[in-house]
Structure 1
Amino acid sequence: MEKDIKHFTVSIYTENNIGLLNRISAIFQRRHINIESINSSISEIENVSRWTLVVKLTEEQIKKIIGQIEKQVEVIKAYYHTDEETIYQVSAMFKIKSDLLFEERKIQNIIKDSNSRIVTVNRDFFVLEKSGRKHEVEQLHRELSAFGIMQYVRSGRIAVTKDEMKISEMLIAFNN
């Protein structure tokens, strides 16, 4: 049983209504399943939101949860995909003291080697942005931690499927 547990990316297309996030998170909470990552944004369809969640469980469990999610009135459609079926990234921002940027050569090398980019620089701090796989962002965090990070934030996973999803046609029909 334990070996069948893996990461799933859950995509939920919804109307944007108050309280829905609470009800969906309760579906996971009742089953003692941790949501490792959550992201909400507009979708490719006007007036439809898309939530992207990452959870770690069995395929049998995710099928049951998708069924529960789709019972919510505001949910139009929910999907789940394995990591192999998706293209995904996370994004992070690091706020660091500015004097390190100019005085510490190693920080300059870390920035270059990690393919991160400087978003802003002022007298007191600079902000780095890094997008990529979670492990790449975590590695950059470890490397920068030695110098002191003033602030750090990381997004939830954003993902698209490798295969075409028929949600657009379904939603166009739904809106007509």
Structure 2
Amino acid sequence: MKNTPIYAAIATILLSTTALAQTATTPASPTPPAATTPMAPGATMGQSGQAFIQQQRADQHLASSLIGMSVHGAADETLGEINDLLLDRNGMVSAAVIGVGGFLGVGEKDVAVPFQAVEVTRNADGKNRLVLRKTKDELKAAPEFAKYESAPATTGSVAKPATTPPATAR
């Protein structure tokens, strides 16, 4: 749980990226390019040509506000809380990791569900509400989500040496 602020910051940065493209024109060209990619609403262009987002839109949610939130079932029962968000290599949230069962974190297990299955709505008072159309029993029966302790290798594989570490002197 001590790494939660770090993960929340990373998720927030990755969730707020916007892909922009520019079409270069030459001075000799009398007409503008036929297709240009519009900037996202609320974005401005910096000196380096990169966009900066100035304000969160109504349909966007900060990862830091989702992590730790209670997830409710269709019958309004509390199913668990968001412990983490799983991001893919493109920066998209692919799953919500929900802590289910247990009491005060003891006996709790993490279950990952596709993020698209979690309905994220914003109440009139501006607070987010999370609904998952599953039951407590379905989540308790779901397989536990296994985390990598370190990032898996992305380019090739490196075999570990077959030697054992030397014994320490006592």
Report the TM-score, using the length of structure 1 for normalisation. Answer: 0.28
Higher strand share: 1
Report the TM-score, using the length of structure 2 for normalisation. Answer: 0.29
Higher helix share: 1
Higher relative contact order (CA 8 A, sep 6+): 1
